[in-house]
Every structure is written in structure tokens, then in C-alpha cells.
Amino acid sequence: MVEDFAAGVDAIAAAVRAVPGVSGLHGGPLGEVAVLLPGRRVPGLRLGDAECEVHVAVHWDTDIPRTAAAVHAAVAPLTGGRPVAVTVEDVDFSGTGEDVDFSGTGEDVDFSGAGEGVDSADVDEAAGTGATASGPGDDRVEGAAAPASRTIKGD
């Protein structure tokens, strides 16, 4: 049975890596997303009885929603009917052959997580508000947005 499970995990990992735009499987901020197999671990996958989670990094020039949907479509037939949740954890800038500089883009950036643009004047004004950490040893800042990862869930 362990061999069948390991073969299934390897098949899912291979299907994910074969999707155009996927840079690789991603173990999460602390490497906590992984399937543990005898003698090895497969980062970026979490297979439970009720759900299959796939965490990926994508290439810089990738259409992220389309790539996440393609990962979902590639993995769904391999999960035995479990719902699949795809999370884009990171964007891989390596291999672009250029330095990426966002400082002069002139685009509105939404730091609030509310889905609306925030211009640089609002950001500069907010920067002077004196936000403080919420407790000793806690790196979260009050009013800060959640990490920028996106999860797509499906049947």
C-alpha cells in the first residue's frame, strides 16, 4: 500500500511540474507543506483523506490564474475524487535574464488586500502612522495585509 501511495504522490508531482508556467513545487514559507514518504519527502503537496493541496511557484511571465487552473485540471484525475486546492506560493524571477525593478512602474499597488489600488501617496501617509508589532516576538504588524498567496479550490 505504501508503494501505491508513493507512486500516486510521484504521479501528482510529475503532473504539476509538467504544467507550463510552473517553476516547481513549493513547500510553503517554512517548508511545512510536504508529503513524507519512507526515506524522502515531496515538498509542495499535502494529501489528506478529504483534500489534496498543491503549492507551487510560477515563472515571472506566467498568467497565474490560468496556470493555477491548469494545475488543478492536471491533478484532479489523480486524486481519487478528493477536492484539489492550488496555492501559488511564489513567483520565480530566475531565468528572466533581467533585473526586476518595481520602483518606477507607476502602477497602483494594493497593500490592503481589499482588491482596490492604493497610490503611493496613500502608502507614504500610512507609513507614518507608527504601526507597531502586536506583541513580543510577534513579527506581524497591526493593519498589515496577509501574505500574497492565492488559493484556487475546486471539486
Q: Is 139 within the bounds of a domain?
A: no
Residue 101 lies in a domain: no
Domain assignment present for residue 89? The answer is yes
Mean pLDDT across the chain, nearest whole number? Answer: 76
> Total structural domains in the chain?
1
- Whether residue 109 is contained in a domain is answered as no
Residue range 119-127: average pLDDT?
Answer: 45
* 121 in any annotated domain: no
| Within a domain: 67 | yes
* pTM for the structure as a whole: 0.62
For 34-69, give one letter per residue: b (16+ CB within 10 A) or e: bbeeeeeebbbbbbeeeebbbbbbbbeebeeeebbe
Comparing 53-67, 97-111, 128-142, the range with the smallest average pLDDT is 128-142
- Domain limits for position 41: 2-95+149-153
The per-residue pLDDT for 19 is: 97
Assign residue 76 the CATH number of its domain: 3.30.70.1350
pLDDT by residue (tens digit) across 17-50? 999 999 999 999 998 999 999 999 999 999 988 9
